[in-house]
Structure 1
Amino acid sequence: MSIQTVTTIITEIDQAPGQLEAAIGTARALDAHLHVLALAIGFDQTAMMGAALDPIPMGLGVEESLERAKALGNLATAQLADEDIRWHVEPIVGSGASSATEIARHTRFSDLVVQHRINSTGDQDRTRRLAETILFEAGVPLLLLPEEAQVTAPPSKILVSWDESATALRAARQALPLLTKASYVHVVMVDPPRMRQIVPIPVGPLRNTCRGRGSNVSFRSVIRVTVAWPPRWNAARLNWGVV
């Protein structure tokens, strides 16, 4: 298991260069193929037809979206032309509610999606919706980077959240290509679901799996419990770590 395809999604001309730089660095660090989705979001045509709106503006809206997708694709192609990685650019158009379906359809076979987290309020909302689509519609691992972050090597320190769920298990399995390249991994459980039982944090199995892949990564598990204890215990919060 390895990360062989990295996808990034660009939607705005002014933000695309920084987004592409982060994706290029990630693909280079992981020796992966870079897939760029140049996404232009147009009108929700179904909703417009339901509202009996004029079909001529709708047609113009589609043409405008196609032109924006093409412009984003051209920008990405120009920026990638001299890079030493494998890549391809795919312009696509989404409209309203169908955008999630289009994003999922074009990313679900990628090994990893890399996106920048944008700080402005409107862009944060767009980033959140995009992240939810990638994680829950496409079911693809997502690496969400701070706005100015650049990846020059696989991450050396990784935090894995754990709650005994199938979702956590899938995330841990999907993260194995990154875990095996790391130096330190912290497995963290917050408010274990079964307080009266031994908490089965899978540090041992994860460590053995990574070592079986030739990695000497160091694991540490941390349990954090935030509960209201009886007054006689004179405590409201208990934190402990298990090495």
Structure 2
Amino acid sequence: MEGLGHNIAYHLSGKMLVFPQETSSAHVRLTTSRQNLGAVTVCQRSVFSELTRDFSLFSLATPSAANDFLIFKKAPSGDISAYVRDLSSTFKGQDYQLNRWQSLCVTWDAASGLVQLWLDGKPSIMKYFSTSNISGPMIIVLGQEQDTYGGGFDIKQSFVGMMTDVHVWDYVLSPHHLDNYSQRFNFPEGNILNWRSIEFSIIGRVLLSSSLSSFCCPLLCYIF
């Protein structure tokens, strides 16, 4: 499935998105009707092959803020940056590895302003970001970073690799459920975006493929 430019609702269990090349245009747009969020949890599993530069893992924009909720891998380290309401901070010392499936979750709560990152079920420190709700019509993009609302893509920030099991909640998932997500145990499905019933559109060369069989070796670890 490539270049599907209209929204469809699809059950993606056992499926993954393949972003096969650097590009300034190809991406996946996820659809939500929500226009106000006072808390967010985003979880996904991804693997990238050779990227040692910056790239975007999840980009949510509104007309008032291009980086209303952004997860961004920094180069050349394994550090991961999170943005909420255009405010950012970097979580250092993260063990984000090449050629390996890893689970990544980021939580934020406007009531406290706190953001936390969970990589493979391991929590980071909590950092203070914003106590302002995310509001307005939302465009959610995988594979590119939005520098403007729905666009402004940069080939040098594009994602190359595979991605699956994307869920988004309008609350902070408990540590128990975050750990369960990382281990593929039972967890509540996303109530904003749910990989098992998700509406999306593919623009450009992004492929929808069956997830790979479960095996591990020194260079590669698939968890499906």
Larger radius of gyration: 1
Q: Decide which structure has greater helix share.
A: 1
Higher strand share: 2
TM norm structure 2: 0.25
TM-score, normalised on structure 1? 0.24
